[in-house]
Amino acid sequence: MEGNNKPIGLRNKILKLLIFFKDRFDLHEGKEDELETIDYIKKNVEFKGANLWILIFAIFVASVGLNVNSTAVIIGAMLISPLMGPIMGIGMAAGINDFELLKKSMQNLGIAILISIITSTIYFSFTPLNDAQSELLARTEPTIWDVLIALFGGLAGIVAGSRKEKSNAIPGVAIATALMPPLCTAGYGLATGNVYYFFGAFYLFFINSVFISLSTYLIVRFMKFPKKEFLDRKREKTVRTYITIFTLLTIIPSVYLAYIIVKRTFWEKSANQFISAEFDLPRTQIISSNLIYHADSSVIEVSLIGERINDAEIVQLNKRLSALNLSNTHLILKQSGDSGTDMNLLRSDILKDLYERNEALIKDKDQKINLLERELSEYSRSSSQVTDLANEAIIHYPNLENFTLNRAIVANLKENRQDTLTLAIAKFRNIPTNQEKQRFGDWLKVRTKSDSVSLIIQ
């Protein structure tokens, strides 16, 4: 009997554990009515009136933030932005077979994209700051991490949107997925004529939008939101066909794009490892490296200065590419002695590298020099003041033989602070009276403009 009870007891414990986790991870707990959630998302789809003006102002704010490289300003702009509405509307429409909502969401997303790019292009056409800062450059090319952020961020957004009590998750998703900065960067690309920046940034926005919509669609289907019912069965079938085709056209390319991004990310990691391992040479220095990825033929381009790498070594380096999963990759070396190498560019890169390495040291030295110059100036002023005071004091006090004056730092141990004190030492042929000492101290206070003078009579 005991042997039979043990399996039953184990099954009960497992069952209780499963029930516990089911209760903990139940998305239906605290869920808003499905129709209320659908209505909530529908209201945020349309760009019209105030919503459109808020978008324009947010784009200007984000463009300024990218222009001056201010992360805080960019985050603020993303909090203001209403871009999440139509993107989540597309996923919701696909999930509930609402073709009208799908058309409306896509139309408004197109309007938002157009307005955003035009606004940012206008700003970057007139701003005097034309350099591409790091915040802007970070939005020119998507990585696998952008895909994951968009997917999980979108999941968090639709789950939060389906709750009775709305949280700050949706603004957080807008920040995490960074929908607005890529559109501003695309505008920068148009304003400066940089096609690479434009398409790279727009590609990043597309990836983010697709995966946020996809995650919305998945949660809507998982939570079994009610699908739109049609009186006309033929029209219902047509709508569902359109929705299915649209969903497949969205999901299949997005999965393929994610696969390509994953491959490129792993390739770039292997390429950087190859450069670090193979070009750590005592008499040769890397000036710059450029990684060019293509699915069928990629290139690692390295510019070197110093002792040349001969042809036999280059052949061996190309052979070692396959050891790091770098098949279909070609190595191109630009060395200082090559006729096709731009030596002026190499020299410029070397000087730039040396300057950047020593910039902190130069600043530190400049600060020390300035401090020493101030101390020397103070010392010269004090020396001149002592001589002038001594010559004046001997007129009033003929018994004065020696006189010195210094600024001293006194540690106040009781109050744990430092005070500045004027210290005067005077030597007289005949010891002065207390009244003469007092008068001499008062005179020093007036002449040195000091609140406190410590006078020592020898």
Distances (CA, A) of 47 to 111, 134, 293: 8, 31, 38
Token digits of residue 359: 């910039």
Mean pLDDT over 187-201 rounds to 84
Token digits of residue 61: 């704010």
Q: Is residue 87 within 8 Å of residue 211, measured between CB atoms?
A: no
pLDDT in tens, 411-424: 777 777 777 777 77
What is the reported pLDDT for 239?
67
Q: Is residue 38 within 8 Å of residue 96, measured between CB atoms?
A: yes
Q: Is residue 424 within 8 Å of residue 404, measured between CB atoms?
A: yes
pLDDT in tens, 196-207: 888 888 888 888
What is the reported pLDDT for 167?
59
β-pair type (417-428, 453-457): parallel
What's 299's DSSP letter? Answer: E
Token digits of residue 376: 């020397």
Residue 79 contacts by C-beta under 8 Å, 6 or more apart in sequence?
171, 174, 175
pLDDT in tens, 14-62: 787 777 777 777 666 666 677 777 787 888 788 888 888 888 888 888 8
What is the reported pLDDT for 82?
78
pLDDT in tens, 254-296: 677 777 777 888 888 888 888 888 887 777 778 778 888 877 7
Mean pLDDT over 390-416 rounds to 74
Token digits of residue 140: 């020119």
Q: Is the pLDDT at 380 greater than 70, yes or no?
A: no
Mean pLDDT over 76-93 rounds to 81
Q: Is the pLDDT at 192 greater than 80, yes or no?
A: yes
Q: Residue 411 burial (CB < 10 Å; 0-12/13-18/19+)?
A: exposed
Token digits of residue 410: 């006194």
Mean pLDDT over 398-426 rounds to 74
Q: Is the pLDDT at 63 greater than 80, yes or no?
A: yes
Between 174 and 193, residue with greater pLDDT: 193
Token digits of residue 333: 């070396």
Residues shown for the chain = 458
C-alpha 92/C-alpha 401 separation (Å) is 98
pLDDT in tens, 237-246: 776 677 677 6
Token digits of residue 12: 């009960």
Token digits of residue 450: 């000091």
DSSP of 95-158, one letter per residue? HHT-HHHHHHHHHHHHHHHHHHHHHHHHHHHH-S--S--HHHHTTSS--HHHHHHHHHHHHHHH
